[in-house]
Amino acid sequence: MAEAPAEAGAVEGSVAGTPPPVRARRWPAVAAAAAVALIAGGSAVLAGGHRGPAPGGSAPTQQPGAPRASQNPAALVVHDDDVVEATGQVIAAPGKPVVYCPDLPQPAIGYPPGQEPAPSCPPGYAVTVVGVRLDQLTGVTTVRGVRVGEATLRGTWHDRVITVARQSAPTQYPVPQGLPEHPPCPPPAGGWRPGPVEAQAAQEYVQAHPDRFGQVWIGWPDGPPTGSTAAPGYQDKTQVLVVGVATGDLAAARRDLAAVYPGNLCVQRTEYSAAQAERVRGAASRLMDDQRNGIISVGLGSNALLPVEVELTVLDERVYRALAGINPRLLDLQPAIRPVAAPR
């Protein structure tokens, strides 16, 4: 599979008008040529690609769950003879083993009828599955003789093969909440001033001092707005710029930021700096060069305590050892195949 260009990853709570952090992501070769990252209003929209289920499959909206403040990577490691669970595509090609494929980016390319390519999964991500009931998959389609559908599979892992004992419709798990909606600081005397954040100067100051500052996000003292951004009153909702300070005095950081940003400001202590998170992200991204690691994407995510999100097929012992040398304290690991006993 060809190396794909880096995708700009959307970051929840990123400051409007500033580019979000870069997310490295592997794409099938056809998607690599078609994908174009468009940055607008602090979020990234991928033109020509989307992540989604198999054609005809379902993708219910996932609701945010409780914040995940910590993670035990060792609990996610899959060993031979562990009982594991995975949700994703099942691909059955004539004359080949049936494989499970995690949720990979897919090119949103329109093909003429009858010219669609056969579904496939790159070798670094495909996992052989035994005992799948193909007639009970969700959203089953057949393209060029290849049958593809979705399921949640539970079974025994051994030598990179899952022997399925239980099969069901795709399970949608809550997405852990990253950044809190409310600013962690009490309001100043007189209260927060209503209106949106205009913080380009503050963002530029933070970016110029990556060893001093960490995560920057927007808090909503009265709760985030809902509905269309064009709805009356949307822009009147009170916003607070929240800045994480990794090193130095909080009061001094507040004074320096207030000199370039006169709006609502909240500074708080953070355990890591932007420079630390970027070093960890870069080291984890380099592991994508070895397709055997099965890493789908690496990016600076929205979790204030686990800033570097790593999506991967399975955290086996080999990949665990590679990631353990990076600084796992800052990693938010998201394996598609995980032990049944592992917390979500």
- Mean pLDDT per 10-residue interval, the chain, length 344 residues: 33 36 40 23 25 35 47 91 97 97 81 84 95 96 94 97 97 71 92 89 95 92 77 78 95 96 94 92 94 92 76 95 87 94 78
What pLDDT score does 88 carry? 95
The confidence score (pLDDT) of residue 196 equals 85
Residue in 127, 72, 74, 125 with CA at minimum distance from that of residue 320: 74
Question: For residue 2, what pLDDT is reported?
Answer: 36
Q: How much is the pLDDT for 201?
A: 93
Q: What is the pLDDT of residue 180?
A: 76
